C-alpha cells in the first residue's frame, strides 16, 4: 500500500514544537499498516523537521537557544536580507536540520523510541502555516 497526504500545520511561534500527536490524528491510514515506513517532508525553506526528546520541554528551549547562538541574526556577510533579519538564519538552520524524516511504522503506529517525538522546527519570527507531505508505504 502507498498513501500520500499533505497536512497543513497550524502557525506557531519561532521555536521547536512537537507535532507527533497532530500528525497521528491527521493520518488514520497509519492504522492500516502492520509494517512500513513513513516519510515526512516539509515544503518550506525556513522551517525544518527533526526527531528528538518529547518529554521535557526544556530540551526544545535549549535547541532554540543553541541554534540562535550557532546561527546569529544580522551578520554583515548575509546578502539575503530583504525578508528581515531572521530570514537568512532560518534558511541556514533549516539546511542544517533538514527537510525530511523517515520513521518506521509498526502495528499501525509510528515506531518511535520511548522519549522521541517529531518536531516542527520553526525558524521565522512571523511564519504562517506550514505544509508537510506524508508518504506512507507498507503492508
CATH of range 2-138; options 2.120.10.30, 2.60.40.10, 2.60.120.460, 1.10.10.10: 2.60.120.460
> Domain extents for the chain?
2-138
Q: What secondary structure letter does DSSP report for 93?
A: H
Do 38 and 135 form a contact (C-beta atoms < 8 A)?
yes
CA distance 72 to 53: 24
CA distance 122 to 94: 9
Do 110 and 19 form a contact (C-beta atoms < 8 A)?
no
SS3 category, 43: coil
pLDDT in tens, 18-67: 999 999 999 999 999 999 999 999 999 999 999 999 999 999 999 999 99
pLDDT of the residue at 104:
98
What's the pTM?
0.97
Phi first, then psi, for residue 98 (nearest 5°) are 105, 160
pLDDT of the residue at 73:
97
pLDDT of the residue at 92:
98
Amino acid at each position: 500500500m502507498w498513501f500520500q497526504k499533505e497536512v497543513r500545520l497550524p502557525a506557531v511561534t519561532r521555536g521547536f514544537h512537537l507535532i507527533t500527536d497532530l500528525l497521528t490524528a491527521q493520518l488514520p491510514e497509519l492504522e492500516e499498516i502492520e509494517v512500513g515506513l513513513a516519510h515526512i517532508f516539509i515544503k518550506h525553506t525556513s522551517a525544518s523537521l527533526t526527531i528528538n526528546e518529547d518529554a521535557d520541554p526544556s530540551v526544545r528551549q535549549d535547541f532554540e537557544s543553541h541554534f540562535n547562538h550557532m546561527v546569529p541574526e544580522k551578520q554583515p556577510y548575509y546578502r539575503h536580507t530583504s525578508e528581515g533579519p531572521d530570514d537568512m538564519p532560518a534558511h541556514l538552520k533549516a539546511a542544517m536540520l533538514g527537510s525530511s524524516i523517515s520513521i518506521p511504522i509498526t502495528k499501525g503506529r509510528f515506531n518511535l523510541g520511548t522519549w522521541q517525538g517529531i518536531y516542527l522546527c520553526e525558524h521565522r519570527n512571523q511564519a504562517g502555516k506550514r505544509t508537510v507531505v506524508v508518504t506512507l508505504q507498507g503492508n
